[in-house]
Chain A
Amino acid sequence: MSGAPMEAALLLAGVLFILGLISVLIRRNIIFMLISVEIMLNAAGLAFIVAGSRWVQPDGQVMFIFILTMAAAEVSVGLALILQIYHQLKTLDSDAASFMKG
């Protein structure tokens, strides 16, 4: 049962993660930031799957399901917050929401 080499899969996960991270950093639209976070989560999930199949352990898939549920919860809360922000500020620019400036 040999497929793609693990290194390649991990590399893919790493690239996905970095892509997500970079877009979180450079995007100002808060929806895109949320999508980027999703990409990062999925990158981490992919790494778990790969590692689980490599060591033939169910834990990797268990972790992925965890991540999925967590991501679902996060998205629902996140979207609710985004709606609120849009409602209040009439914009989705994350830099505009800087009320927490100390």
Chain B
Amino acid sequence: MENYIWLIPALPFLGSLLLILFGTRLSRAGVAILGVGSVGISALITILLGLQYLAEKPAFYHQEVWQWFNVAGFSPSIAFHLDALSIVFIFVITFVGFLIHLYSTAYMAEDMDFSRFFACMNLFVGSMLLLVMADNLLLLYFGWEGVGLCSYLLIGFWYKDPANGYAARKAFIITRVGDVAMAIGLFILFQTFGTLHIQTILSQAPEVWSVGAQAAVLVGLLLLGGAVGKSGQLPLQTWLPDAMAGPTPVSALIHAATMVTAGVYLIARMYVIFDLAPVAQMAVAVIGAVTLLLAGFSALTQYDLKRVLAYSTISQIGYMFLALGVGAWSAGIFHFMIHAFFKALLFLCAGAIILALHHEQDMRQMGGLRKSMPVVFWTFLIGAASLAALPLITAGFYSKDQILWYALAGPQGSIWLYLAGLVGAFITSVYTFRMVFMTFYGEPKTHVAHPPGKIITIPLVILAILSLVGGFIELPHNFAHVALFSGLMAPVLPGITANELLAANEWLFQVLAAVVSLGGVFVAYLFYQKSPALLASIERSSFAMALHRFWFSGWGFDALYDALIVRPYVFLANLNKRDIIDSFYTGLARTAEGFHVMISQTQSGVLRNYVAGVVVGAIMILTISLLL
């Protein structure tokens, strides 16, 4: 099976290429078969490969397809490195990707650019696979930029509205800011190690750098910069809510399940660097903690269903960063996987709702959908429960509980990080159930036009099941000793041990997490279901209104960047549109012209003036030669 590794990314690329070349000539069914099939086969190969990996338990699989280039020892290859970490990512990308592709065939059925959509989606899946399978950082960077391109193409998919184009460009440019940091990190890594081969760097870093070495910290921070850009974390998070301009399956696949977690992958992949750079690792944790709070508060105030989910994604990735930052590597990746399930599910449900309501995204125009769309309601509820981490039954509880626990009890944990996570958990369940109550309960406000068909509901059900049972592969050790996931990760990522003192009382914190999460549900119920008047009275105060506006605008980051960077840049660029340097040369030309005008005065055309000139000149020369 391992000889077919290259097929996993190659098939989506091939699908994309064929769709670009012949997409317009194929029938819709043909496009769908090609687009979904390529990802489906990839998913199949991945699952077979994953099973083989579980059976054989090798350290990793490696396959070189060809050598990209070789310049004086700098020789990155198009080569794939598969270990447990990549396999988890590949599984999520291909499997969830396949479900979303399948769903898209129904969601996009009416769209004019059906084939372009699948061409871009396939290209995305291929690039994303390249990103997580790369055995060297340059190839990873290839995938990294490739997914950026696809994200751009798909956010701006409905290009007729300039606002979508703006969101697309914003996403591309802001993530590229992070990419610059990452690229510089790669330069340093190359200068230090003479290669960008990931495993070589990881094995040699501890020999070359001591713990806390300046270079290591610098590289760590620069890689973090790249991760922050891609994963929509502070301070580069502003593009992600706007990215919801794309079709909903795009939001589900790219801006929830896979691409935005590339930063998590990068940090986990380069964990040795972060181990050697405690400052950088602390920065990861702090950024995660702050982001999860900020995004959570913003999610509370949004009315657009997809924007709530977008902020929620930022917030949940914040949890992953928090986990990575405190050294709970496996917990972070576990949360990534579970999050991919339930967030994709939520987005797909949202898509089904939006489609049913004629592209209505405002939650204030929804309501009462519980009866008219039962399958969507139940699956959405499961996804919401998982996101809100309702105890015991949902996968989200197990993954988030682990993060909270290690944020406190891990060796790098602290009470502040824990509190941030806990408050975040509370907000999460408030905004999640706010969403549920506003959308599914109350009076119906918009007529349901097309109830979702089978192709839409089947992926929902599969993802809903995964959102429930996915958690059971990793249970807290005081429940039952199931540690399949961390066991899988153990050869790749270092484990973590909890503080002994706290460990004795672990159950206390679990109960606390459960209470907080249920409390959030209750608050949402109180405000949005039982007595909306209470909420309205709070919201009427001027302070609450200002706060609401502030959170609604995403803590004013957009306005800040606009005022600090975008506007001055555009202003300066336009100011200098005619190129100030050119005016130097035109000035030079003007001066020459001026002299020309002056001197040409003497050319009177009158013969006698010239004779006089000759005489005067001759006399002057004679005088001078006599005097000397």
Contacts and interface: CB of A to CB of B under 8 A. Distances in A.
Q: Do A and B bind each other?
A: yes
A94 B615 contact: no
A97 B615 contact: no
Contacts of B606: 94-95, 98
B575 interface: no
Interface in A69-102: 94-95, 97-102
Contact of B605 (A30, A33, A101): A101
A28 interface: yes
A102 B601 contact: yes
Contacts of B611: 24-25
Contacts of A97: 605, 607
B295 to A, nearest CB: 75
B608 A28 contact: yes
A33 B607 contact: yes
A60 to B, nearest CB: 22
A21 interface: yes
A28 B607 CA distance: 9
A98 B605 contact: yes
Contact of B604 (A25, A26, A30, A101): A101
A50 B612 CA distance: 28
Interface in A31-54: 33
Contacts, number: 35
Contacts of B601: 102
B607 A25 contact: no
B616 to A, nearest CB: 11
Contacts of A21: 615
A102 B608 contact: no
A100 B600 CA distance: 10
A11 to B, nearest CB: 17
A94 B607 contact: yes
A15 B606 CA distance: 26
Contacts of B608: 24-26, 28, 94-95
Interface string A3-33: 0000000000000000001001110101001
Interface in B376-418: none
A41 B378 CA distance: 120
A46 B600 CA distance: 38
A100 B615 contact: no
Contact of A25 (B602, B605, B612): B612
Most buried by A among B602, B611, B612, B615: B611
Contacts of B603: 100-102
Interface residues of A, number: 15
Nearest to B610: A100
Nearest to A95: B606
Nearest to A37: B611
Of the candidates B599, B601, B602, B606, the one having the most CB atoms from chain A within 10 angstroms of its own CB is B606
B612 A100 contact: no
Nearest to A33: B607
**Most chain-B Cβ atoms within 10 A of its Cβ — which of A24, A99, A101, A102?**
A102
Contacts of B602: 102
Contacts of A33: 607
Interface string B266-277: 000000000000
Contacts of A101: 603-605
Nearest to A36: B611
Given A21-B615, A25-B612, A99 B605 contact: yes
B275 to A, nearest CB: 81
Contacts of A94: 606-608
A98 B604 contact: yes
Contacts of A24: 608, 611
Contacts of B605: 97-102
A54 to B, nearest CB: 22
Interface string B587-621: 00000000000011111111110011001000000
B14 to A, nearest CB: 73
A95 B612 CA distance: 13
Nearest to A99: B605
B600 A102 contact: yes
A81 to B, nearest CB: 11
Nearest to B596: A102
Contacts of A99: 605
Q: Which 7 A-B pairs have the closest CB atoms?
A: A98-B605, A102-B603, A101-B605, A102-B600, A100-B605, A94-B607, A95-B606
Given A26-B608, A94-B608, 19 more contacts: A21-B615, A24-B611, A25-B608, A25-B611, A25-B615, A28-B608, A30-B607, A33-B607, A94-B606, A95-B607, A97-B605, A97-B607, A98-B604, A101-B604, A101-B605, A102-B602, A102-B603, A102-B604, A102-B605
10 contacts: A21-B615, A94-B607, A94-B608, A95-B608, A99-B605, A100-B603, A102-B600, A102-B602, A102-B603, A102-B605
Interface of B: 599-608, 611-612, 615
